[in-house]
Structure 1
Amino acid sequence: MFRCKACGAFNRVREPRPTGTPECGRCHAALEVSGAPQEVDGEGLDRAVLGSPVPVLLDLWAPWCAPCRAAAPILDAVGRAQAGRLLVLKLNTEAHPHAASALRVQGIPTFVVFSGGREVARRSGVMPRAELERWVMTSLAQGGANATA
C-alpha cells in the first residue's frame, strides 16, 4: 500500500509493478512508490495513522537537530526497503508543535510505531539501520494486531 503525497489516499499497487508511474486512484496524481519517508502535518498524520492498512513508522524531528539529520538517511533506507509494507512519515516538531505536543514528545528524534490505528511502541535517539528495523519488527510482532511489515 502506498500513500499519495497529494491527497493522502492509500493505493494498492499490484506486484510486479506495471511499467510507468502509477497514479492515485482518488486524485490521479503521480503515486510515489519508492517508500521514501513522507512529510506530514498533524492532520495528515492523524488521517494516515487511522487509515493506514500497513504499519506506520513516525519520525518526530526538527531541522536544527543534528541527530535528527543523522537519522534521515537511515529512515530513508528503511522506508525504501519496506516500500508498500511499512509507511514512514516525518513530522517536523518546529513547524507543527501542536501535533508534537499531542503526542507528548519530550525529546527528538523520537520514533513511534503505529499499527491498526494505535501506538504500539516509542523510542528516542538515533539507532543504526539494523537496530531500527529490528525494533520496528519486534514492536509490531509484540503489539501490532495489524502488523504486516
Structure 2
Amino acid sequence: MFRCAACGAFNRVREPRPSGNPECGRCHRALDVSGAPQEVDGEGLDRAVLGSPVPILLDLWAPWCAPCRAAAPILDAVGRARAGRLLVLKLNTEQNPRSASALGVQGIPTFVVFQGGREVARRSGVMPQPELERWVAGATSAQGGAGVTA
C-alpha cells in the first residue's frame, strides 16, 4: 500500500508493478512508490494513522536538529527497503507544535511506530540502520504493543 502525498489516499499497487508510473485512484496524480519518507502535518498524520493498512514509522524532527538530519538518510533507506509494507512519515515539530505536544514528544528525534490505528512503539535518538530495521520489525510483528521500548 502506498499513500498519495498529494491527497493522503491509500492506494494498492499490484506486484509486479506495471510499467509506467502508477497514479492515485482518488486524485489521479502520480503516485510515489519508492517508499521515501513523506512530510505530513498534524491533520494528515491523524488521517494516516487511522486509515493506514500498513504500519507507520513516524519521525518527529526539526530542521535545526543535527541528529534529526543525520537520521534522514537512514529513514529513507528503511522506507525504500520496505516500500509498500511500511509507511515512513516525517512531522516537523517546529511547524506542528500541537501535534508534537499531543504525542508527548520531549526530545527529538523521536520515532513512533503506529499499527492498527494505535501507537505500538516509541524510541528517541538516532539509531544505526540495522538497529532501526530490527526495532521496526520487532514493533510491527509484536501483538498487543509488546514492541514498546523507551
Q: What is the TM-score when the length of structure 1 is the normalising length?
A: 0.95
How many Å separate the matches in 1 of 2:118 and 2:67? Answer: 26
Shift of the alpha carbon at 1:141?
1.9
Alpha-carbon shift at residue 144 of structure 1 (Å): 6.0
1:132, distance to aligned residue in structure 2 (A): 0.2
Q: Provide the identity percentage.
A: 84
Question: Structure 1 runs of 4+ off > 3 angstroms?
Answer: none
Q: Secondary structure at the match of 1:58?
A: strand
3-state SS, counterpart of residue 77 of structure 1: helix
Decide whether aligned partners of structure 1 residues 9 and 144 sit closer, same or farther in structure 2, where only a CA change above 3 A counts: farther
Residue identity matched to 1:14: R
Distance 1:76 1:126 in 2: 13
Aligned length: 145
Which blocks of at least 5 consecutive residues in structure 1 are unaligned? none
> Considering only aligned residues, what root-mean-square deviation do their CA atoms show, in Å?
1.0
- Whether the 8 Å CA contact 1:36–1:79 is kept in 2: the answer is yes
Tell me which residue corresponds to 2:10: 10
Aligned partner of 1:69 in structure 2 is: 69
1:36 is the counterpart of 2:36: yes
Equivalent runs, 1:103-122 vs 2, <5 Å: 103-122=103-122
Q: Which residue number in structure 2 is paired with residue 125 of structure 1?
A: 125
TM normalised by structure 2 equals 0.95
Q: Which residue of 2 aligns with 1:19?
A: 19
Report how far residue 139 of structure 1 moved: 1.2
Q: Deviations over 1:72-131 (max 9, x none)?
A: 000000000000000000000001100100100000000000000000000000000000
How many Å apart are 1:143 and its aligned residue?
A: 3.4
Q: Retained in 2: the 8 A contact 1:115–1:144?
A: no
Aligned residue for 1:112, secondary structure, equals strand
